[in-house]
Structure 1
Amino acid sequence: MADLATFIKGDIVTPNDADYPQAIARWAVNAERRAKIVAFVKDTEDVALALKYARANDLPIAIRGGGHSAAGASSSENGLVIDLSRHINGARIDPDKKLAYVGGGALWDVVDKEAIKHGLATVAGTTGVGGLILGGGYGWLTAKHGLAIDNLVQATLVTADGSVVTASDTENPDLFFAIRGGGSNFGVATEFVLRLHPQRATVYHGALVFPPTILEKIVEVTAKWWANVGENEGMFQMLGLGPDGNPAIVLFVFYNGSEEEGRANYKPFFDLGPVVDLTKEIPYENVNAALNTAMAHGKGVYQKGFSNDKSEYQSIAKAYEKIISISSPEFQVKLMLEYVPIGKVISVPQNVTAFRRDSAPLAVILILWTKDAEGATEHARSIARDLSRTVAGGELTQLQNFGYANYDPEAVTGHSAQIAYGESYPRLQAIKKRYDPDNIFNKWFAITPA
C-alpha cells in the first residue's frame, strides 16, 4: 500500500483514515462494503497503477463513478475501489462539433449545466454518467435521441493489463460494441465523448398528485395518451405514500416545450382533477435533478425493474393495495411505471450494440428504508418479487422479470449474464477474452471469457 501511495497522483484512503466512512459511502447504505483500499485516481496512469497493485496483491476490484448501484457494483468487501468521482468528474463542451467530453466519475447534472450554456443537451439521467451509459441509458430525451449509448461517440478505457485504449466506430469497434450495454466488464472508462443536440433552455416538468380513488381513470387516460405519444413528452407514474404519508398517485410529467404547450398536451390528466399541481416551466438543466430530494443518499434501497407489457387496472389496483398495506414512513414501497417513448431505441438494430433492446415499457418496484436493519434487503427482495408478479397479472417470463440491466438488483450476485445480453452473449465472451481474460472486472453481470 505504501508503494501505491508513493506512485499514485491521486488519494489513497484506508480504514485507518478519518475520511474512510465518506470514501465507502454510497447512495444505498445497504450497498456499502468495507473496502481495504479506496484509490481516488487522477488520470489513466493512476488507474493502471491501481489495477497493477490490485492484481499483484490478489485484491478484488470495483469501479466507482456516481456510486448509485443499489446492487453494490461500485463497492468491494476487502478489495480495492477505483474511485473516479473525486478527480475525474468534469465535462468540457465543444459547441462547434456538438460534443461533450465527460469524465468517468461525473454526475449528469454537470453535463446538463455545461451543455445548456451552448443551447445543447444529450440523453441523461439522475445518476452518475458512467453507470448509466455502460448499462444502456434511458432519459427524458430518449424519445427524441435514443439511449445514452446511442449518443456515445467514443470512450477511453484502461483495460485489465493497464493499456489505455480508445473505443469508437473506427478504433477498436469490437470494444465499442461491447461497452454500449456491456457494463464495466471490459475496463475502467475514464472519459466519454457524447453527441449533443440543440435543446431549448426551458421545459415543462413537475409533479401532479392525485387521490388513489381515481386510479382506474388514470389508467384509462394513460392508455389513450400512450397510444399517440410524441417525441417531446414522457411520464413517470409513482404509486405509494405521498409526502404527507397518505396514499397518493404522483405523475411526473415532462414536455420538451413551453408550459402552455405542456398543459395543453396533458389536458386529459388535468381534467381528472389533481389535488396538487407542482408543474411549471423550468430551466432544462434542473430536470434531471428534480427527483434528487426524494432519492437522497443514505437510505436503504432495493429496486427491481421488469418489463410491463400491459397496464391493466385490476392488476395495478391489487398491487397498489398491497403497497399501501405494507408501507410506512420508515419503510416505503413504491411502484414506478415509466412511460418514455422508445421508438428511437428499438429502431437501432440489435447487433449494433450489446444492449438488449426491449419494446415494452419499464416498471420498477422501489423500496426505501431509513434504518439498515438486518434482513431488510431480503425482506424488500421478497416484497418486490411478489409485487412485480401482481402488476404483471401472473408469473413473469424470464425476459420480463429481468427488465433493464441498470435496474436489476442481482447484478453482483450471480444473475445470469446470458439473460442480460441475450443473443450478443457469445460475441461478448470473445471480446471479454481479448480484453479481460482473467475476469478481474466482474462486479456487474460478469461475462465468462470464451
Structure 2
Amino acid sequence: MPDFEKFKTRFKGDIVTPDDADYRKALARWAVNAERRAKIVAFVKDAEDVALAIKYARLNSLPIAIRGGGHSPAGASSSEDGLVIDLSRHIKGARIDPDKKLAYVGGGALWDIVDKEAIKHGLATVAGTVNHTGVGGLILGGGFGWLTAKYGLAIDNLVQATLVTADGSVVTASDTENPDLFFAIRGGGSNFGVVTEFVLRLHPQRAKVYHGTLVFPPTVLEKMVEVTAKWWANVGENEGMLQMFGLGPDGNPAIILFIFYNGSEEEGRANYKSFFDLGPVVDFTKEIPYENVNAALNEGMAHGKGVYQKGFANNHYEYQSIVQAYEKIISVSSPEFKVNLIFEYFPIGKVISVPLSATAFRRDPAPLAVLLILWTKDAEGTTERARTIAYDLARIVSGAELTEVQNFGYSNYDPEAVSVTGHRAQIAYGENYPRLQAIKKRYDPDNIFNKWFAITPA
C-alpha cells in the first residue's frame, strides 16, 4: 500500500498487520462472530494518531471501523480488509474532578474503570449493566443502565466530547461549542468522527447498594406477570430489574431476576417483597459495593462466544405470549446454544422527559426487551439460525405484528446496525434523521464513518 512506511514512521501508537504475531489478538472481539480480518489495526495514542490513520485510510481507499470496547455483536468495530482505529490500548483512562463532579474518560475506556474511579469520591454516572462494555459505544448509542431511573440516559450525562472528524480536524462538541455536532453524537453513534475523550457528569452515590440474582421455577410465570405489572406501575427512581427467561445455572428452565435497589438491603427486600412472596429457589441478593453492580453479569457475558441480540419494544408483557415464547426457547436451547429472553425494566420517566429534538437518540415510551442468544461452538449458519429464532420470538412476545419502529427497539441492540443502507438509519433516528443528514454533510460528506446506522449526507 502506498506510503505505508511513511505512515508507520509518523504514527506514535502501534500498527498491527496480518504479518504480526499479535494480529489475531488485535482482531478479537466480545462476540467471535463479529470478528473481521482487517488489513491494518491502528492502536492510536492520541488525536494526532487518529487523524493520521484517517488520512492514510482515505488515501488507500480502506474502509474504516472504530473500536472502543469491541462489544458490538453486529461487527461495527471490525472491518474486513479495512483499517481499524483502535482506542482500547492507549486511550482508556478515566480522570475524576470531584469538585466539578466530572469524569474525563478516554474514548477506548471500559465502564469498569469509570465505575471504580468515580466511586472513590462517592460519585457515579449512568453506565450499562456489564462493565467490560466500552464507554464509547454505549454513550454514542444512548446508554441505559441501573441509574437511568434517576439520571436518564448516558447521553443525558454527557457534558462534552472531543472528536477527530473526517478531514482530520480535532473539534470539541458541547452545548456551547459546535452544538449541532453535540446534538448528533448523542445517539448518532460513530457517524461523525472518532471520540477521543468524553466528559461525563457525575452524581453523588452511596457506597453500597442492594443487588443480585433471584431464580424462580417456571411454575410461577403467571403470577410473575401479575406481580411485575403491579410493581412497574408504581416503580421508583431508586430501582430497576432485568427479567430473563431461559435456562438456569443448572441447565433447567428458569426465570431469573437481576434486581437493583439504590439503598440498603433492608429497604431493597421490602421494596421487592411481592417477588420474594413468589418463592425464589435461589437468592443471591445482598448489599454490595456500588462498583461491583456492573460486574455481576460479567461471567455470563464473557468474551469469546458467538452472540446474536435482537431488541424490540416491550409494550405487550402478557402471560399467554410469554408462555408460548418460553416453550420455544426451551425447545431450541442447549448448554452450547442458549436463548435468553430479557425484559429490561429501567424506569424511563427521565428518559422521555427530554424533548425528542434535544438529542439524536429516538426516545420511545416503552421499556426494552432483548433476545440474547449465546453459543460456544461457532459454525457456518449459526448466526443465521440465531437470527431466525430471534425474529420469531419477537413476533410471539409482541402478541401481534410489530411496527418497524417497535421491531427495531433500542439501537445498541439492533443486529443490522452495520447496514450501509439509509433505511435502517431512518428508523433509528426517526424525525431527527433529516437534521442528522445535514450535520453529516458538514462533518463527513464522503460518509467514511459508515459502520453504525450509516447516515446518508444531505
* TM-score w.r.t. length of structure 1: 0.99
What percent of counterpart residues are identical? 85
Partner Cα distance (2:220, 2:120) in 1: 41
1:358 aligned residue: 364
1:367 aligned residue: 373
Unmatched 5+ stretches in structure 2:
none
Is 1:447 equivalent to 2:450 in the alignment? no
Is 1:327 equivalent to 2:318 in the alignment? no
2:58 aligned residue: 55
Partner Cα distance (1:402, 1:326) in 2: 23
Partner Cα distance (2:401, 2:6) in 1: 54
Is 1:234 equivalent to 2:236 in the alignment? no
2:300 to 291, 294, 298: 294
Partner Cα distance (1:262, 1:16) in 2: 54
Cα deviation digits, residues 353-379 of structure 1 (max 9, x gap): 000000101100111110110011111
Give 1:3 deviation, angstroms.
1.9
For the residue of structure 2 that corresponds to 1:3, the secondary structure is: helix
Cα deviation digits, residues 193-240 of structure 1 (max 9, x gap): 000000000000000000011111111100000000000000000000
Partner Cα distance (2:146, 2:40) in 1: 37
Amino acid at match of 2:106: G
Is 1:423 equivalent to 2:431 in the alignment? yes
Partner Cα distance (1:372, 1:266) in 2: 39
1:433 aligned residue: 441
For the residue of structure 1 that corresponds to 2:342, the secondary structure is: strand
1:206 aligned residue: 212
2:49 to 46, 51, 54: 46
For the residue of structure 2 that corresponds to 1:23, the secondary structure is: helix
For the residue of structure 2 that corresponds to 1:53, the secondary structure is: helix
2:107 to 96, 104, 109: 104
For the residue of structure 2 that corresponds to 1:430, the secondary structure is: helix
For the residue of structure 1 that corresponds to 2:357, the secondary structure is: helix
Give 1:70 deviation, angstroms.
0.3
Partner Cα distance (2:178, 2:20) in 1: 40
2:120 aligned residue: 117
* Aligned-residue CA RMSD (Å): 0.6
Partner Cα distance (1:193, 1:441) in 2: 22
1:248 aligned residue: 254
Amino acid at match of 1:296: A
Is 1:178 equivalent to 2:188 in the alignment? no
Partner Cα distance (2:18, 2:210) in 1: 46
1:75 aligned residue: 78
Partner Cα distance (1:143, 1:29) in 2: 33
Cα deviation digits, residues 393-423 of structure 1 (max 9, x gap): 1211111001010000000124620000000
1:265 aligned residue: 271
Partner Cα distance (1:245, 1:6) in 2: 54
1:313 aligned residue: 319
1:275 aligned residue: 281
Q: Give 1:185-224 correspondences, 5 Å limit.
A: 185-224=191-230
Partner Cα distance (2:350, 2:238) in 1: 12
Give 1:165 deviation, angstroms.
0.1
Partner Cα distance (1:34, 1:143) in 2: 40
Partner Cα distance (1:444, 1:329) in 2: 31
Give the total of aligned pairs: 450
Cα deviation digits, residues 139-166 of structure 1 (max 9, x gap): 0000000000000000000000000000
1:397 aligned residue: 403
Amino acid at match of 1:76: S
1:85 aligned residue: 88
Partner Cα distance (1:140, 1:237) in 2: 14
Amino acid at match of 2:62: L
For the residue of structure 2 that corresponds to 1:352, the secondary structure is: coil
Amino acid at match of 1:171: E
Partner Cα distance (1:252, 1:105) in 2: 28
Give 1:90 deviation, angstroms.
0.5
